[in-house]
Copies of this chain bind each other. A is one copy, B any other.
Amino acid sequence: MSASRDLHAHLIGQPGSRARINTPALILDRAAFGRNVARMAEFARGHGLALRPHAKSHKSADIARAQLAAGAIGLCCAKLGEAEALAAEGITGLHLTSPVVTAPGIARLAALARRTGPLSVVADHPVVVDALAAAMQGGPPLTVIVDIDPGIRRTGVASAAEAVALARRIAGHTSLRYGGVQFYCGAQQHIANLAERRAALAERTGYLSECIAALAAAGLAPAVVTGGGTGSHVVDAELGVLTELQVGSYVFMDREYGECDLGAADAFETALMVDSSVISANAAGLVTIDAGLKAFATDAGAPVVLSGAGPDVRYRFMGDEHGALIGDDLPGLGERVSLGAPHCDPTVNLYDAYHVVEGGELAAIWPVTARGRST
């Protein structure tokens, strides 16, 4: 049992039990979460897009099951360890969105492909394609997707010509299946203004269309064009080039996406938060809470106060274990406050469990199945 299950299992289903959860605690609002899951499923269905949500955001088998039940065709994983952990929980339709390159990684991937159902992985280099093909000899064909760099220089092939060459290389191996292309515009997701985001995505998608045309001319038209994120999905649907969405953060929302105008789907709700308690209140205009930089990822600035303090109250990091709330209408010693994460994915990765709440009641404890599985 996890530490949180040991501490809190007796609270499940008890009225008012959210207030008795030991803090800092990762909280998932079941109602808001459920509406987010349904809303994105409906969006994808309505636009004729396949939905393969990204598990790197939640790392949870329970959330993956909810997404599959709502119509998702599978889950994306950023790392092999995530895919292994979710596959062990019976999650199907897994797609690895980062190249698997090292010898130990390719051996693990081949073993995973042999013991699970269909699995796909991106590649961006012929040496890796050949290594994947060798590892899959005698097994079921592994689906390999050509990763096309949208200009980030993070992963992906750097030109249409390279995309064609790599697709041909994949198709030339009997132990592999050429599955299509991936094009993830990571740099455009958080452009706050919708019109600016639309223009940037349209320009990049123009380049993607050139790549697809080159592939088609070579007899390698992609069956799947996967990509998109919470920030881009409305525009991706308008542009009509992607066939499959990899959206992740929509299940939770966070401060970063809260500051973006997402367009038609603007109605996603904050479903993820961290409950924290005041542990010191000896200074004027400031109290100290038990959530610091081991409770929130710090790459995207400060958390926001959602409830439990006045609207003017601001959070400031106070080291590894503590945060300050600064303002006028502060909670008292031992009282609780609820905070929204600045960036959901790496914040979730700090916790072993979601405390799923319905109103003021702890309804369930869901493990963060693939926590720390960055390998």
Contact = CB atoms under 8 A, between A and B. Distances in A.
A280 B374 contact: no
Nearest to A11: B104
Interface string A250-269: 00000000000000000000
Given A22-B105, A280-B124, A98 B321 contact: yes
Interface string A344-375: 01100111100000000000000000011111
Contacts of A152: 318
A320 B294 contact: no
Given A102-B23, A346-B320, A333 B297 contact: no
A3 interface: yes
A154 B21 CA distance: 23
Interface in A295-313: 295, 297-299
Given A79-B321, A294-B349, A295-B374, A101 B20 contact: no
A98 B279 contact: yes
Nearest to A326: B153
Contact of A99 (B78, B102, B280): B280
Contacts of A99: 279-280
B102 A153 contact: no
A278 to B, nearest CB: 7
Nearest to A104: B22
B125 A281 contact: yes
A261 B157 CA distance: 45
A71 interface: no
What interface size band does chain A fall in? 35 or more
Contacts of A299: 293, 298, 317
B101 A24 contact: no
Interface in A92-137: 98-105, 108, 124-125, 127-128
A375 B23 contact: yes
- Tell me the number of copies of this protein: 2
B283 A158 contact: yes
A149 B282 contact: yes
A324 B22 contact: no
Given A102-B334, A104-B22, A375-B24, A155 B288 contact: yes
Contacts of A375: 3-4, 7, 22-25, 290
Given A98-B322, A125-B333, A350-B349, A293 B297 contact: yes
Contacts of A23: 102, 375
B154 A318 contact: yes
A319 interface: yes
A125 B128 CA distance: 61
A128 to B, nearest CB: 7
A24 B350 CA distance: 16
Interface in A124-170: 124-125, 127-128, 149, 152-158, 162
8 contacts: A21-B104, A24-B375, A98-B322, A125-B333, A128-B333, A155-B282, A156-B282, A350-B350
Given A22-B375, A98-B321, A127-B334, 13 more contacts: A3-B375, A7-B108, A22-B81, A22-B104, A24-B375, A98-B279, A101-B280, A153-B286, A156-B282, A290-B374, A294-B372, A298-B299, A349-B350
